[in-house]
């Protein structure tokens, strides 16, 4: 094996702390406009928490759900709402038992220049409200939106 041409690592892209904080703020603005309060989690591409906030009055379970939505979205670079269809496939269904997999709308990969730089998870509204706030916040900051 020729090690002169072997790539040993790849450049890691990750959401910045400033962008993560701005995304949390943008979600709270969108959620207020939509009519709910939220727990918001932003992870790096490895699923590690980068920023988090839970609005006053949001149930404490929503905090864990938001983090798991962000983790799930970052894990497969896929919005969480599509996991319901995935889990209907018998060969994928065993993943439903994973304690962090969250197959509920409101989690999106954070994509910049075609690369997943993190995950966004929102919990506190209906799954439709969580999804809407996520899409609005990602768009407001110029992040790419998934096709689904």
Q: Which residue has the higher pLDDT, 40 or 96?
A: 40
Give this prediction's pTM.
Answer: 0.92
Confidence of residue 1 (pLDDT cuts 50, 70, 90): low
Write down the pLDDT at residue 3: 60
* Whole-angstrom distance, CA of residue 142 vs CA of residue 148: 17
Percent of the chain exceeding pLDDT 70 equals 97
| Average pLDDT, integer, range 56-79 | 97
Backbone angles phi, psi at 18, to 5 degrees: -65, -45
Write down the pLDDT at residue 5: 77
HEC secondary structure over the chain:
CCCCCCCCCCCCCCCCHHHHHHHHHHHHHHHHHHCCCCEEEEECCCCCEEEEEECCCCCHHHHHHHHHHHHHHHHHCCCHHHHHHHHCCCCCHHHHHCCCCCCCCCEEEEEECCEEEEEEEEECCCHHHHHHHHHHHHHHCCCECCCC
């Amino acid at each position: 094996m020729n090690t002169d041409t072997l790539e040993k690592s790849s450049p890691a892209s990750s959401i910045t702390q400033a962008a993560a904080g701005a995304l949390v703020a943008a979600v709270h603005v969108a959620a207020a406009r939509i009519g709910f309060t939220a727990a918001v989690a932003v992870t790096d591409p490895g699923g590690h928490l980068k920023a988090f906030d839970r609005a006053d009055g949001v149930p404490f379970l929503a905090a864990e759900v938001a983090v798991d939505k962000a983790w799930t979205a970052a894990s497969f670079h896929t919005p969480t709402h599509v996991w319901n269809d995935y889990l209907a496939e018998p060969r994928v269904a065993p993943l439903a038992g994973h304690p962090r997999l969250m197959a509920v709308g409101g989690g999106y990969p954070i994509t910049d220049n075609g690369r997943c730089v993190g995950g966004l998870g929102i919990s506190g509204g209906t799954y439709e409200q969580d999804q809407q706030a996520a899409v609005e916040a990602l768009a407001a900051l110029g992040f790419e939106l998934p096709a689904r």
